[in-house]
Amino acid sequence: MYDDPEEIMRVPMAAYKLLRQLRNDLIHIVENNQPSLQCEEHHDELKAMIPLLEDLDGAASGLIRLQEIYKLYPEDITNGTSLNADKAHHVGWVAYNERKFQHAFLWFLYSLNTSKEYPSTMEEELFNYLYSSAYYFGSLPRILHPAASKS
C-alpha cells in the first residue's frame, strides 16, 4: 500500500497503528527472550528502542486533534481501516485524560460497537467511561432518556 516507508507516517491513523504495533511487538520480544552474555548489549539496545507509552499517547492525541479541528467521528478518521476495540479504547482514554469528553465518548462508543468480545470487567469500565464522558460534556440526560431528548 505504501511504497515509501516515510509515507505511512504521514497518515495519522496508520502512524498510530504502526507505533502501537511496534511497541507491543518489541515489548513482547524483550520480555520473552532472555539474553545470553554475548547478546546482553543488543538486548539493552532493543529495550531502549521501544516507543514509550507517552509516544503512543501523543499519536492518539494527534488523532483527537484531527477529530476536533475537522469535526470528525471515529469512523471518519479510521476511514475503512480496521481499528480494533482496544485501540479505540486507548484513544478514548487519552481524550478523557485530556478532558475532551465529547471526543472520549465517541471513541468509547466506537470501541463498544467494534468489540466482538469484551471481558465483563472491561465492558463495565467502558460503560463507566461512556457515562462519565457524557456527564462531563452535558449529554447524560440524552443517554439515560433517549426518547425524551428527541422532543
Domain residue ranges of the chain, discontinuous segments joined by +: 7-150
Per CATH, is 7-150 categorized as 1.25.40.10?
Answer: yes
Digit-by-digit pLDDT tens for the chain (151 residues) are: 556 767 777 888 988 998 999 999 988 888 887 666 556 777 778 888 889 999 999 999 999 999 999 999 999 998 777 788 889 999 999 999 999 999 999 999 999 888 877 677 688 888 899 989 988 887 766 555 554 444 4
Q: What is the 3-state secondary structure (H, E, C) of 54-81?
A: HHHHHHHHHHHHHHHHHCCCHHHHHCCC
Task: Please enumerate in sequence order all residues whose Cβ is within 8 A of that of 91, keeping only pairs 6 or more positions apart, or say none.
Answer: 16, 60, 63, 64, 74, 107
Helix or strand holding residue 12 (H, E): helix 12-32
